[in-house]
């Protein structure tokens, strides 16, 4: 925090250019994130040493089975921190966004204590979230725009992953592929400068981690070789199996969360249990498993490294470890322990790849040259990770950066690509929602758009042409009005199609055909199959339909007369409606907070009665016409004006906070939750 304030002071005095400010901010994000992740990893090691060496020796000296209490003790400690975190989240939902940043160190400590006590989770998710919060906090302190804050959030996430894995290249692609996916695709300003900010933060953070923890990679990788390129179909089979494991893993986590929330019909009593009790249940499960299969508790990197070094594990034992690790991770996450799913995904992939490699070596003839099982374990790690976090490029580059060997790239890309494709085919609904958000540039919050109807935002009297109009005349009409398209009507004003600027460009660039261009009419080239929406549909439904063809606008028709057009809805109107809804939410939160702190002297004088659709404040006075009280009324009016002005001035900052906290960091929070 002190470093951030020092940076703000220096920038205010020097007043450099915008590019220089972003460069200095990227360096600061990298330094702070790298330092924070380094301290986080050292705290994990310290906690593991305390729980599983010092405390375990004391407990096991009396009863050998007493180590099951270690995760339960950790659960009690974490529950105290979770209580504070839940209070912070409540304050954030009430509009106090500053509380969220003050709890970032507390959440990092909770993650370290969870992992140190044996929870089957990973440190990379909290590292990414720590870096993202550092970027967001720095952007808020420097009073950056929402786009620049979003960029610093991505840079911080890249720095967190780079420091966690000692892999700066993978950190950059993780930020571009996951954290900045929507904004990077829709940002028209300077993509090269944006990438530079992310790259600098990632490199600086990795450098800090290397100086503090050494240059050793996350794993000591095996000595392997790709025997033959005919082996590639075998890696494709591993990609299919990895998609199955990734799907089971993500769904197990969701079902476990439903169980602990009391949504299962067989366990409704879970709804009444307090958070410490749920954490104790999760700690008990971890403790029992630690007696039988200690390989699966905690982060699990020791077991992964043993598999990569070709330590003998039988196929039945590996299958048992895979199932138990999957279930224990789901229980750890759902019960309330804090951590990410990067490390468990890598564990599951390594075990799956080792099983697969040993199985094909057993069934295939010895005359067919294939790589050893550690090579398949390495590819399985990347494939399951890609399927779990839906980041194939990051997974490929992460494993390539750790191996630094081009020979593994081809099978790695094959398995990861097939795994990602299979999961997209299985999970079409979620892929559709992600496509909508990527196309529209909105945060993944469809609930806001589901509450707004098309009739509220549609435009009346859209641009239109007759289907018998000459093409060149229609082209002049569209281009003179700067329209993207025009609806095509027949003589009785029934919808026959749509003519877009793309249609005109295509016919102009095509070679001369049988009919001269001057003889063509709109009917000859317009698109007759038109996607339409209805006035009583929500904006979310319209977006899903528009995203299927990447449309900018869509006609609104009468539900009972599909050929009768009553308006047009376009992307700009949806964007405006979305931002207005968020602004209303921010204003309501600010007014609620202000009403609880500002006393009103006269009950007959109501300063704020309603918030209209245009965001204006309606102020009423019961004594406005009382001439004897003009002086008092003027004083009250001035006070109310100051109050309302402060509310209006706070809207922008509150909206920015909501957008960044609720939307931009949600990708990193999904990884660590």
What integer pLDDT is reported at residue 247 of this predicted model?
94
The reply to whether 487 falls in a domain is no
Domain boundary, last residue among 216, 244, 272 = 216
How far CA 208 is from CA of 18, 204, 216, 371, 577, in Å, comes to: 26, 6, 13, 36, 44
3 state SS of 512: coil
Taking the C-alpha atoms of residue 530 and residue 554, their distance in angstroms, rounded to an integer, is 8
Q: Is the pLDDT of residue 376 over 80?
A: yes
What integer pLDDT is reported at residue 102 of this predicted model?
66
Q: Are residues 54 and 117 in the same domain?
A: yes
Taking the C-alpha atoms of residue 520 and residue 497, their distance in angstroms, rounded to an integer, is 16
Taking the C-alpha atoms of residue 84 and residue 104, their distance in angstroms, rounded to an integer, is 11
Q: Are residues 161 and 184 in the same domain?
A: yes
What integer pLDDT is reported at residue 351 of this predicted model?
96
Higher pLDDT: 637 or 249? It is 249
The reply to whether 250 falls in a domain is yes
Name the range with the highest mean pLDDT among 284-288, 551-555, 616-620: 284-288
Number of H helices, E strands in the chain: 29, 6
Q: Are residues 128 and 205 in the same domain?
A: yes
Q: Is the pLDDT of residue 126 over 70?
A: yes
What integer pLDDT is reported at residue 166 of this predicted model?
78
What's the gap between Cα 605 and its chain centre?
46
Higher pLDDT: 582 or 511? It is 582
In terms of Cα–Cα distance, which of 360, 396, 355, 395 is closest to 377? 355
Taking the C-alpha atoms of residue 399 and residue 416, their distance in angstroms, rounded to an integer, is 11
Higher pLDDT: 642 or 68? It is 68
Name the range with the highest mean pLDDT among 120-129, 166-175, 446-455, 599-608: 120-129
CATH number of the CATH domain containing 266:
1.10.3080.10
Q: Are residues 36 and 145 in the same domain?
A: yes
Q: Is the pLDDT of residue 279 over 90?
A: yes
The reply to whether 526 falls in a domain is no
Q: Are residues 303 and 353 in the same domain?
A: yes
Q: Are residues 119 and 200 in the same domain?
A: yes
The reply to whether 383 falls in a domain is yes
Helix (H) or strand (E) holding 570: strand 565-570
What integer pLDDT is reported at residue 238 of this predicted model?
94
Domain boundary, last residue among 396, 426, 456 = 426
DSSP track, 261-316: TT-STT-GGGGGS-HHHHHHHHHHHHHHHHHH-GGGSSS-HHHHHHHHTT----HH
- Residue 381: which pLDDT band, with cuts at 50, 70 and 90? very high
Structure tokens at 159: 């720095």
Domain count for the chain: 2
- Residue 2: which pLDDT band, with cuts at 50, 70 and 90? low
What integer pLDDT is reported at residue 440 of this predicted model?
43
Q: Are residues 189 and 236 in the same domain?
A: no
* Full residue range of the structural domain in which residue 252 is found: 229-426
Structure tokens at 249: 């893993």
Q: Are residues 189 and 287 in the same domain?
A: no
Q: Is the pLDDT of residue 482 over 50?
A: yes
pLDDT tens-digit map of 58-101: 888 888 888 899 999 999 999 988 887 777 666 554 444 444 56
Domain boundary, last residue among 216, 241, 271 = 216
The b-or-e profile of 431-451 (16+ CB within 10 A means b, else e) is eebbbbbbbbebbbbbebbee
Q: Please, what is the average pLDDT of the chain?
A: 78
What integer pLDDT is reported at residue 572 of this predicted model?
81
Q: Is the pLDDT of residue 616 over 80?
A: no
What integer pLDDT is reported at residue 418 of this predicted model?
92
Determine the average pLDDT of the residues in 25-45. Answer: 91
The reply to whether 135 falls in a domain is yes
Share of the chain above pLDDT 90, in %: 25
The answer to whether 186 and 147 have CB atoms below 8 angstroms apart is: no
What integer pLDDT is reported at residue 445 of this predicted model?
57
Share of the chain above pLDDT 70, in %: 74
The reply to whether 448 falls in a domain is no
Q: Are residues 201 and 90 in the same domain?
A: yes
What integer pLDDT is reported at residue 18 of this predicted model?
67
What integer pLDDT is reported at residue 13 of this predicted model?
61
Name the range with the highest mean pLDDT among 150-154, 223-227, 300-304, 320-324: 320-324
Q: Are residues 176 and 270 in the same domain?
A: no
The b-or-e profile of 170-194 (16+ CB within 10 A means b, else e) is bbbbbbbbbbbbbbbeeeeeeeeeb
Helix (H) or strand (E) holding 229: none
Structure tokens at 22: 């972003």
pLDDT tens-digit map of 428-438: 645 444 444 44
Residue 383 backbone dihedrals phi, psi, to 5 degrees: -70, -45
Q: Is the pLDDT of residue 346 over 90?
A: yes
What integer pLDDT is reported at residue 551 of this predicted model?
77
The reply to whether 127 falls in a domain is yes
Q: Are residues 310 and 191 in the same domain?
A: no
User: For 459, which DSSP code?
Assistant: B
Q: Is the pLDDT of residue 548 over 80?
A: no
- Residue 610: which pLDDT band, with cuts at 50, 70 and 90? very low
Q: Are residues 239 and 138 in the same domain?
A: no
Taking the C-alpha atoms of residue 56 and residue 287, their distance in angstroms, rounded to an integer, is 12
What integer pLDDT is reported at residue 666 of this predicted model?
44
The reply to whether 106 falls in a domain is yes
- Residue 240: which pLDDT band, with cuts at 50, 70 and 90? very high
- Residue 104: which pLDDT band, with cuts at 50, 70 and 90? confident
Higher pLDDT: 265 or 192? It is 265
Other C-beta atoms lying within 10 Å of the C-beta of residue 6: 11
- Residue 559: which pLDDT band, with cuts at 50, 70 and 90? confident
């Amino acid at each position: 925090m002190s470093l951030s304030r020092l940076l703000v002071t220096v920038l205010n005095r020097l007043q450099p250019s915008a590019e220089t400010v972003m460069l200095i901010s990227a360096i600061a994000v990298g330094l702070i994130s790298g330092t924070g992740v380094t301290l986080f990893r050292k705290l994990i090691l310290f906690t593991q040493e305390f729980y599983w060496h010092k405390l375990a020796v004391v407990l096991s000296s009396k009863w050998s089975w007493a180590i099951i209490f270690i995760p339960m003790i950790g659960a009690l400690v974490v529950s105290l921190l979770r209580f504070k975190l839940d209070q912070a989240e409540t304050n954030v939902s009430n509009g106090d966004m500053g509380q969220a940043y003050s709890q970032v160190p507390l959440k990092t400590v909770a993650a370290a204590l969870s992992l140190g006590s044996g929870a089957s989770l990973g440190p990379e998710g909290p590292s990414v979230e720590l870096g993202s919060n550092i970027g967001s906090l720095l952007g808020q302190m420097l009073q950056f725009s929402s786009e620049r804050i979003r960029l610093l959030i991505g840079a911080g996430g890249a720095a967190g992953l780079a420091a966690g894995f000692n892999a700066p290249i993978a950190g950059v692609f993780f930020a571009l592929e996951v954290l900045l996916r929507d904004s990077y695709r829709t940002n028209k300003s300077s993509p090269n400068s944006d990438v530079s900010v992310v790259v600098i933060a990632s490199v600086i953070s990795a450098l800090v981690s290397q100086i503090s923890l050494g240059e050793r990679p996350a794993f000591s990788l095996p000595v392997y070789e790709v025997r033959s390129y005919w082996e590639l179909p075998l890696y494709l089979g591993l990609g299919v199996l990895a998609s199955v494991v990734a799907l089971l893993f993500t769904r197990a986590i969701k079902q476990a969360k439903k169980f602990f929330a009391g949504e299962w019909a067989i366990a409704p009593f879970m709804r009444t249990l307090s958070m410490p009790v749920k954490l104790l249940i999760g700690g008990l499960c971890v403790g029992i498993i630690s007696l039988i299969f200690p390989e699966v508790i905690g982060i699990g990197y020791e077991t992964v490294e043993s598999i990569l070094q070709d330590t003998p594990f039988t196929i039945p034992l590996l299958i048992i470890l895979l199932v138990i690790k999957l279930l224990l991770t789901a229980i750890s996450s759902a019960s309330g322990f804090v951590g990410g799913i990067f490390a468990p995904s890598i564990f599951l992939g390594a075990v799956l790849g080792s099983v697969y490699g040993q199985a094909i070596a057993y069934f295939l003839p010895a005359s067919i040259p294939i790589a050893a099982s550690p090579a398949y374990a390495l590819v399985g790690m990347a494939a399951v990770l890609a399927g779990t976090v839906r980041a194939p490029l990051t997974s490929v580059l992460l494993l390539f950066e750790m191996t630094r060997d081009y020979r593994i790239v081809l099978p790695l890309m094959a398995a990861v690509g097939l795994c990602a494709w299979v999961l997209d085919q299985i999970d079409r609904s979620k892929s559709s929602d992600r496509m909508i958000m990527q196309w529209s540039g909105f945060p993944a919050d469809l609930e806001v758009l589901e509450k707004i109807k098309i009739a509220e935002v549609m435009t009346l009297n859209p641009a239109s042409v007759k289907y018998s109009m000459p093409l060149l005349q229609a082209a002049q009409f569209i281009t003179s009005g700067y329209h993207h398209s025009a609806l095509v009507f027949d003589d009785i004003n029934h919808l026959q199609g749509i003519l877009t600027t793309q249609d005109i460009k295509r016919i102009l660039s095509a070679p001369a055909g049988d009919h001269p261009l001057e003889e063509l009419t709109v009917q000859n080239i317009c698109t007759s199959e038109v996607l339409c929406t209805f006035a009583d549909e929500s904006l979310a439904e319209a977006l899903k339909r528009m995203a299927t063809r990447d449309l900018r606008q869509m006609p609104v028709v009468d539900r009972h007369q599909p050929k009768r057009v009553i308006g047009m809805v376009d992307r700009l109107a949806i964007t405006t409606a979305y931002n207005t809804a968020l602004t209303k939410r921010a204003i309501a939160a600010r007014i609620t907070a202000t009403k609880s702190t500002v006393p009103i002297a006269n009950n007959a004088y109501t300063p704020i009665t309603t918030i209209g659709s245009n965001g204006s404040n309606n102020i009423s006075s019961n004594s406005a016409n009382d001439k004897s009280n003009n002086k008092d009324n003027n004083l009250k009016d001035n006070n109310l004006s100051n109050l309302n002005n402060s509310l209006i001035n706070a809207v922008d900052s509150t909206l920015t906070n909501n957008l960044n906290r609720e939307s931009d960091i949600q990708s990193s929070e999904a990884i660590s939750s």
